[in-house]
Amino acid sequence: MSISVVRKNVVANFISNGWTALVAVLLIPLYIKFLGVEAWGVVGIYVSLQSVCTLLDVGLSASLNRELARLSLHKDKAQEMRNLVRTMELIYWSLAILAGATIFALAPVIARHWVRASQLSPAIIQNAIRLMGLTICLQWPFGLYAGGLSGLQRQVLLSGMSAGIAALRGLGAVLVLWKISPTLHAFFWWQVGVSVLQTCLAGLFMWHNLPLTESASTFQSTLLRRTWRFTAGMSGFAIASIIISQMDKVILSRMLSLEMFGYYVLAGAVATGIYLPVMPIFSALYPRFTQLVSLGDKEGLKELYHHGCQLMSVMILPISIVIVFFSKEILFIWTGNSTTVARTHLILSILVIGTALNGLIHLPHALQLAHGWTKLPFSLNLVLVIILVPGIILMTSMYGAVGAAFIWVIFNGALAIVGIQLMHRRLLRGEQWRWYFEDVGLPLAVSVGMALLCLLIVPTEGARIQLLMFLAGATLLVAGPTLLATPVTRAGFVSYVRSLRGRALNVSQ
């Protein structure tokens, strides 16, 4: 796969994820308007259940991504590729049905004995949770097909489909709430219908893009035996990661009122926007990392790794620092509600710090997966789960939602400090210092410095449009110097300017 294909995949993924995140973020105030904060808290439970159910993935989607990327280098592996997809598909659908049935069965217990609602009746919540189970059952296999399409380098196709489905899911839900019924029942039935469409399309695209063979695709357990170590390692890592990323929400849904939990979910939704550039870059570079490892091209892998990490820093850090410094202004522009701002802004700032740290370690994680090394991330996450789960309970009981948000920062800070050191003792030895100082440290220092300057001119009063103009200017003021200070992005910018100058000269001649 050429560098041009990698760039095309990054751009396609970025546009798709950007559009998906934009739709989600812009529509949240409308969801809250039609449903209310308590019902939005129930939607937050749905998001957490989706994440928890990824435990049943047992590393299959990551394994399919890696195996198809590797097998696609060999023309004689077509039948093996199709058999592998069929094998994992049958297992995945079985697990999806199990997950949906479990949620359906537990709906009465969750509605009556876990959620603390003051306005919504247990019957309404129970019905919503059962629809969540049906939605998750139908939507969840999309993850396997997406992993396969990514491994086949069909990321432009995947991105286009995902962007269209995101618009249909979000805008359609708003129309349903507005024109038909502003209820959780209507909201989740729409999610069921869109999930059917999304999964069917992804499955059709997956099979259409596999190489054709004369023999039918069959289930072969022997294919799983070959990949079981990687799959098992990914499963262990996923279990620990989901516990860490969702335990705060599980605990808070029990310890806080449903209204306050809704504010936490609101802050989390904004913080999740930091992942906008993360997954496009990860999805484009991870298959390429795998191929470079297979080819034994260590120098090419090292340069692509650092180039990717610097690009990741430039895409994450400026916007993260702006949100951390100006969370009040952002929430006021977005919601126009002073109560929401007061109860959410500190939670948002803390969650964004943790999310930015998590985004920065995605490419180091991709490097480990490309080498088939899952023991380190699994071990680190296991240790942190043992330490941090009691910490979440303690911090939540003492400081509420703010305390739970701090745990997210501690977790990702530990991974960035300890995990990077341990990884580079084995992979690309000695390159951790370049990661700390050049890939991350330099853009971080510039971003923070420019944001501090912006604090001197932030308007203390003003209409939402004035604050929006200030934040747009502040974002440019932070992002511009960061881009120019970071070696890879500076070189890319200079090269682009020179190409424009050359075109202008050719036109003038």
In angstroms, rounded to a whole number, what is the distance separating the alpha carbons of residues 425 and 422? 5
480 vs 483: CA distance, rounded Å: 5
Q: What does the pLDDT read at residue 451?
A: 92
Using CA atoms, how far apart are residues 401 and 342, in angstroms rounded to an integer? 13
Check: CB of residue 347 under 8 Å from CB of residue 402: yes
Distance CA 188, CA 190 (A): 5
Q: Which two tokens stand for residue 418?
A: 């300890």
Phi–psi pair at 439, nearest 5 degrees: -70, -40
Query: How many of the other CB atoms lie within 10 Å of CB of 123?
Result: 11
Q: DSSP for 123-176?
A: HHHHHHHHHHHHHHHHHTTHHHHHHHHHHTT-HHHHHHHHHHHHHHHHHHHHHI
Residue 234 is encoded by which pair of tokens?
């990914």
Going by C-beta distance under 8 Å and a sequence separation of 6 or more, which residues neighbour residue 197?
A: 165, 168
Q: Which tokens hold the place of 124?
A: 């309404």
Q: Which two tokens stand for residue 43?
A: 């939607």
| Positive/negative CA dihedral, 166, 170, 175, 181 | positive
Are the beta carbons of 66 and 369 closer than 8 angstroms? yes
With b for 16 or more beta-carbon neighbours within 10 A and e for fewer, the 301-312 pattern comes to: bbebbbbbbbbb
Q: Token pair of 12, please?
A: 């396609």
Rounded to whole angstroms, how far apart are CA atoms 358 and 407?
13
Q: What is the pLDDT along the chain (509 residues), one digit of tens a residue?
A: 445 566 666 676 667 766 777 777 778 788 888 888 778 778 877 877 776 666 555 567 767 777 777 777 777 778 888 888 888 888 888 888 988 898 889 888 888 877 777 778 888 888 988 999 899 888 888 888 888 887 787 877 888 888 888 889 889 999 999 999 988 889 999 999 999 999 999 989 988 888 888 788 888 777 666 665 666 555 566 666 666 666 677 777 777 777 777 788 888 878 887 887 887 788 778 878 887 888 888 888 998 999 999 999 999 999 999 999 999 888 888 777 788 888 888 999 999 999 999 999 989 988 988 887 877 877 777 777 777 778 878 888 888 788 888 888 888 888 888 889 998 988 988 889 999 999 999 999 999 999 999 888 877 666 778 888 888 889 999 999 999 988 888 887 777 666 656 665 555 55
Please report, in angstroms and rounded to a whole number, the separation of the first and last CA atoms in the chain. Answer: 37
- State phi, psi for 418 to the nearest 5 degrees: -80, -45
AA identity, residue 366: A
Rounded Cα gap, residues 78 and 62, in angstroms: 19
Is residue 244 within 8 Å of 411, Cβ to Cβ? yes
Identify the residue whose tokens are 């928890």.
52
Cβ atoms 328, 353 nearer than 8 A: no
Distance CA 185, CA 195 (A): 16
Please state, in angstroms and as integers, the Cα–Cα distance from residue 66 to each residue in 160, 229, 272, 279, following that order: 22, 13, 25, 16
The amino acid sitting at 165 is I
Cβ atoms of 176 and 27 closer than 8 Å: no
68-85 burial, b for 16+ CB within 10 Å, e for fewer?
bbbbbeeeebbbbbbbbb
Spatial neighbors of 105 by CB under 8 A, at least 6 apart, are: none
Q: Rounded to an integer, what distance in angstroms lies between the CA atom of residue 131 and that of residue 42?
A: 12
DSSP assignment of 434-487, as one string?
A: HIIIIIIIHHHHHHHHHHHHHHTT--SS--HHHHHHHHHHHHHHHHHHHHHHSH
From CA 209, how far away is CA 5, in angstroms rounded? 17
CA 457, 460, 462, 464 torsion-angle sign: positive
Other beta carbons within 10 angstroms of residue 195's beta carbon come to 21
Tokens 């499963």 -> residue:
235
Under DSSP, the state recorded for 418 is I
